[in-house]
A and B are shown apart, each in its own frame.
Chain A
């Protein structure tokens, strides 16, 4: 098993930004009537999501969330030693968005910056990578972004995805500290056989963009896509999501001897309520310890765990230290679980773009 323990790093602040425009599932034009829409809302738990306009990218939302958090923390952007950008909806094919953001955010020229093109598992993977780099002791302050504009890389006429996904950017500030830091523990997992359960087949080197890849086709009744759009094969993702995350969390609990009774927060990737409740029950964590934000923001892929923390756990996380376990899972298929402690975290008010 690939497991990892990291010492001397703690979360000191978090912020999030969502676009101002809200799309309500009840009134989406893709349903024949409100009754149809209500069924989907009842089974997914997702009532609405925030949506960027056609001129806004994930990095734009990131800038707003970053500036807010640094102001609230009293950090200077020149003090940031490492900056990681978890996102699949990158600004350009090249260069990495993190390079462009170095200048926009006024980070130092010797700052260690990079993109991490993860989907729903991205915040947990990002935490492991950035914290691991910091644990050497020379990076004192680091920023982990998890941001996505899901409404822009999926087709609005794809009824299978439009009600489920939203846009958001989140910023997590980390500090190296040999005092008051408890270890973070991680478990990882991947199943490349499921690479086409969630994927965008065209636009890479294997299948370059061709005029045909830009043509919109009705692939099944009411589902329209172009070759460059993200495909979500709901049934396969569902089968994966009700099985692998509970297994991963149980592996984490077993490997690191976690007493489930002492867990204060179970932080799940916000896939949909049906899936997440199955995971919660399988792991045996009470409902009141499992916050959700999907009803309001939908599935915001890599941003969903930190967005839940910012919008639903602000007061708790700013208080006494909490024992948390988290699991991110999705495109890859990839998943990762972590155990960490968080307390006295500066949580910024939600920023609207």
Chain B
């Protein structure tokens, strides 16, 4: 897995947020555009791209994009 690619896939689920705001350390739930619907898009993206189903608690317990990346990587191994 590649964190840069993960960040790009993550950013692609947003319509209005500036791409530059997405880094490994982004507190994604603090973004104005973040909503429960975005969360569903992220779950679908992770399923499509990484063939892993993350749970609601995985998103709730992750602060940054990097935290979520770690969850996905752990589930894949």
Contact = CB atoms under 8 A, between A and B. Distances in A.
Given A39-B37, A43-B37, A234 B56 contact: yes
Contact of B37 (A40, A243, A278): A40
Interface stretch (B4-12, B21-29, B40-48, B65-73): B40-48
Interface residues of B: mostly helix, strand, loop or mixed? helix
Contacts of A40: 37
A236 B40 CA distance: 9
B43 to A, nearest CB: 5
A242 B43 contact: yes
B72 to A, nearest CB: 12
Interface in B31-63: 35-37, 39-40, 43-44, 47, 53-56, 59
Given A238-B43, A239-B47, A233 B36 contact: no
A235 B56 contact: yes
Interface in A210-260: 233-236, 238-240, 242-243
Interface residues of A, number: 15
Contact of A242 (B35, B36, B47): B47
Nearest to B58: A235
A40 to B, nearest CB: 7
Interface string A62-82: 000000000000000000000
B40 A43 contact: yes
A235 B43 contact: yes
Most buried by A among B40, B53, B54, B55: B40
Nearest to B54: A239
Contacts of B37: 39-40, 43
A239 B58 CA distance: 12
**Looking at chain A's contact residues, is the secondary structure mostly helix, strand, loop, or mixed?**
helix
Contacts, number: 39
A43 B44 CA distance: 13
B41 to A, nearest CB: 8
A274 interface: yes
A239 B55 contact: yes
B47 A243 contact: yes
Nearest to A235: B56
A60 B37 CA distance: 35
A28 interface: no
A234 B40 contact: yes
Nearest to A42: B37
Contacts of B35: 39
Contacts of A242: 43-44, 47, 53
B36 A234 contact: yes
Interface centre among A40, A233, A235, A274 (most CB of B within 10 A): A235
A265 to B, nearest CB: 25
Interface string A39-58: 11001000000000000000
A236 B56 CA distance: 5
A300 to B, nearest CB: 21
B66 to A, nearest CB: 20
A235 B59 CA distance: 9
A313 interface: no
A239 B53 contact: yes
B43 A239 contact: yes
A160 B56 contact: no
Contacts of B36: 160, 234-235
14 contacts: A39-B35, A40-B37, A43-B40, A234-B40, A234-B56, A235-B43, A235-B59, A238-B40, A238-B43, A239-B43, A239-B54, A243-B47, A243-B53, A274-B40
Interface of A: 39-40, 43, 160, 233-236, 238-240, 242-243, 274, 278
Interface of B: 35-37, 39-40, 43-44, 47, 53-56, 59
Q: Which 9 A-B pairs have the closest CB atoms?
A: A235-B56, A239-B53, A236-B56, A238-B40, A43-B37, A239-B43, A243-B53, A235-B39, A233-B56
